Amino acid sequence: MSETTYSEEHIRSLDWKEHIRLRPGMYIGKLGDGSSYDDGIYVLLKEVLDNCIDEHVMGHGKKVDVEIKGARVEVRDYGRGVPLGKVIDVVSKINTGAKYDSKAFKKSVGLNGVGTKAVNALSSYFKIESVREGQLKRAEFDRGVLRKDEKLTRTEEPNGTRVIFEPDPDMFRHFQYREAHVERLLWNYCYLNTGLTIHYNDQKFQSKNGLLDLLNTKLDGEPLYPIIHLVGDDIEVAFTHGTHYGEEYYSFVNGQHTTQGGTHQGAFREAVAKVIRDFFKKDWDATDVRTGITAAISVKIIEPVFESQTKTKLGSQEIEPGGRSMRAFIADFLAEKLDNYLHKHPEVAEVIQKKVLESERERKELAGIRKLARERAKKASLHNRKLRDCRLHLNDPKPHPRKGETTLFITEGDSASGSITKSRDVETQAVFSLKGKPLNCYGLTKKVVYENEEFNLIQAALSIEDGLDDLRYQRIVIATDADVDGMHIRLLLMTFFLQFFPGLVQNDHLYILQTPLFRVRNKKETIYCYSEEEKQKALRKLGKGAEITRFKGLGEISPDEFKNFIGPDMRLDPVMITKDAVVHDLLDFFMGKNTPARQDFIIGNLKAEKDVVEPAPAPVAETGYVEEEA
């Protein structure tokens, strides 16, 4: 065995932009294609917006303009503007910024001086303009390289900063900004900053009631009692209970949406249960108190510590360095404000008590069934091999840069699961094989989750019996054939998750796998097509003699080919609940009793689908194309 040499020539020093482009995950998390809320293109947008919001929080600028057209993003605030002599430095020199000075930005999100530098380095085009007191400074970059450094000019524009960028297609392949994800980001900024107005393309975003407005958009139907909305110095909470299962939380720190929670969310969960138990002088189980809760909490702290650069989980134990603990801060606030509220609103207290007692009764009724279900799940995982697990898991306490890639594919049948299993990345990708069609569980109680073998094993595989804290995979991907049976299985699985584990959908964990419908190839090139339009484009490119293969099912795609579809370029459609959607109404319409309204909907959409999906086939004799089935 030859010995590898190690000398001075092996030591490299990278400049700031080279390091960001070589290790983007350290700065923006995963790259992604825009299907996930935490994909890199949204982190780039957020890093620019954070600077605008910080200006607003410090009392400078009540409006932000955002425009997205295709790949180009433009953000304009009306704050103080970047000091003109430092415009280039703040977007191209690591550890340069005003947020190290706590006097200028006391409770900011971006504290490390990296944000806009990462946007600059990961953009194929980046321009920054700053206006201060009638003077304008402009600079342009390409992948972090300064291309234009313009001299100061006079302008009549109001003070503020404008940033224009286009994510680098070499880094973010096949990406697109999804309206739902952008709008959710912008709404969150408005909910947390009630004096702020954001203009996005032709829309206006503004909130008058903060987290109360946020929760009203998140609730599925009528809550059991009016939302409790409590506001204090550097803290705001809102919550209520519903009839759904589990717990739903929306937590924020200094305006940053901490999608994975953290110390503030944990402190709230602990405190709200304690205050309610103390108020009624009952030693209820905390899970019974919180079952069915939907809550939002926002705190503002000095120098927050996050567990990653993307700031999705708060790690701070104190509200400021050397100050009060996070637990004590939130516990004291709720002990005063929530206790006072319950005394002033006995009718709300009565509803909460009734809800807790119902949850306690149901939990005790299910206790025996849960024990048997856990034993069955353990036995099945050992002997039936329905789950082909991966090595890395989201709930592993040890940090790992690829945790965000952990994925569970839920497939139909052995052939599809076999193809994915053979071609998957065993480090981050697991496969669960369904046996037949799942039960339509709409309108059923959670008892069915434990009594139905498939549902019980899915729950066990995900480790979500007691909530999402121990969720084992970042993404749950439904991988079914693109035929009638496959679509039906998708609906049944989505119904299961929405009915019993809505938090998985609310927190962007559920996806649909897109696989190609066609393979078009000649002797030199192979193109996989996901639609009829892509097929026609491929045929025009490859010309006469091209061979077309129509994939009828996932099991007919070889493992070697499947690697292309579940790798870095994997196409996923997120299952999202829109701002105005009511889950109960959606499930009742699509999965409830057959009604004339649903029959009309199906008939109308079948006709529309036929008009779109079945274009007249091109004559083989004229084109020279050869088409076959897999």
Whether the CB-CB separation of 122 and 129 falls below 8 Å is answered with: no
Portions of the chain given CATH number 3.30.230.10 = 211-362
pLDDT given at position 105: 47
pLDDT given at position 142: 95
pLDDT given at position 111: 42
Q: Is 560 helix (H, G, I), strand (E, B) or coil?
A: helix
Quick one: average pLDDT of 451-473?
A: 88
State the pLDDT confidence band at 445, using cuts at 50, 70 and 90. confident
Lowest mean pLDDT among 30-39, 43-52, 171-180: 30-39
What is the Cα–Cα distance from 304 to 306, expressed in whole angstroms?
6
Exposure string for 283-296, b = 16+ CB within 10 A, e = fewer: ebeeebbbbbbbbb
Exposure string for 431-444, b = 16+ CB within 10 A, e = fewer: bbbbeeebbbbbeb
With respect to CATH, is domain 384-515+560-592 assigned 3.40.50.670? yes
Lowest mean pLDDT among 100-109, 127-136, 170-179: 100-109
Quick one: average pLDDT of 135-162?
A: 95
State the pLDDT confidence band at 601, using cuts at 50, 70 and 90. low
pLDDT given at position 588: 67
pLDDT given at position 127: 97
Sign of the torsion formed by the C-alpha atoms of 312, 314, 319 and 321: negative
State the pLDDT confidence band at 507, using cuts at 50, 70 and 90. confident
pLDDT given at position 355: 96
Portions of the chain given CATH number 3.40.50.670 = 384-515+560-592
Mean pLDDT of the chain: 85
Q: Percent of the chain beyond pLDDT 70?
A: 85
Give the HSE-up count for residue 450: Cα atoms under 13 Å, Cβ half-sphere. 17
More confident residue, 627 or 344: 344
With respect to CATH, is domain 211-362 assigned 3.50.30.10? no
What is the Cα–Cα distance from 143 to 135, expressed in whole angstroms?
27
Instruction: Answer whether residue 612 shows pLDDT above 80.
Output: no
Quick one: average pLDDT of 319-325?
A: 86
Whether the CB-CB separation of 236 and 230 falls below 8 Å is answered with: yes
pLDDT given at position 141: 96
**To which residue do tokens 């079952």 refer?**
291
Instruction: Answer whether residue 622 shows pLDDT above 70.
Output: no
CA 264 from chain center: how many Å? 20
Q: Which CATH superfamily is domain 16-206 in?
A: Histidine kinase-like ATPase, C-terminal domain (3.30.565.10)
Lowest mean pLDDT among 309-323, 420-434, 556-570, 610-624: 610-624
pLDDT given at position 600: 66
Strands 235-241 and 228-232, bridge-based pairing: antiparallel
Exposure string for 200-209, b = 16+ CB within 10 A, e = fewer: beeeebbbee
Task: Give pLDDT tens digits for 255-286.
Answer: 888 888 889 999 999 999 999 999 999 999 99
pLDDT given at position 413: 76
Task: Give pLDDT tens digits for 359-368.
Answer: 999 888 888 8
pLDDT given at position 137: 95
Of the candidates 42, 24, 309, which has an alpha carbon nearest to the alpha carbon of residue 171? 24
What is the Cα–Cα distance from 165 to 74, expressed in whole angstroms?
7
Whether the CB-CB separation of 434 and 488 falls below 8 Å is answered with: no
Task: Give pLDDT tens digits for 562-581.
Answer: 888 888 778 888 888 766 55
pLDDT given at position 582: 62
Exposure string for 384-406, b = 16+ CB within 10 A, e = fewer: eebbbbbebbbeeeeeeeebbbb
Q: Order of strands, edge to edge, in the sheet holding 626-629?
A: 526-529, 518-521, 547-550, 626-629
Portions of the chain given CATH number 3.30.565.10 = 16-206
Instruction: Answer whether residue 473 shows pLDDT above 90.
Output: yes
CB atoms within 10 A of CB 10: 8
More confident residue, 372 or 463: 463
More confident residue, 144 or 15: 144
Helices (H), 177-285: 179-192, 211-218, 263-280
Residue 199's identity, in one-letter code, is H
Instruction: Answer whether residue 7 shows pLDDT above 90.
Output: no
Record the pTM: 0.78
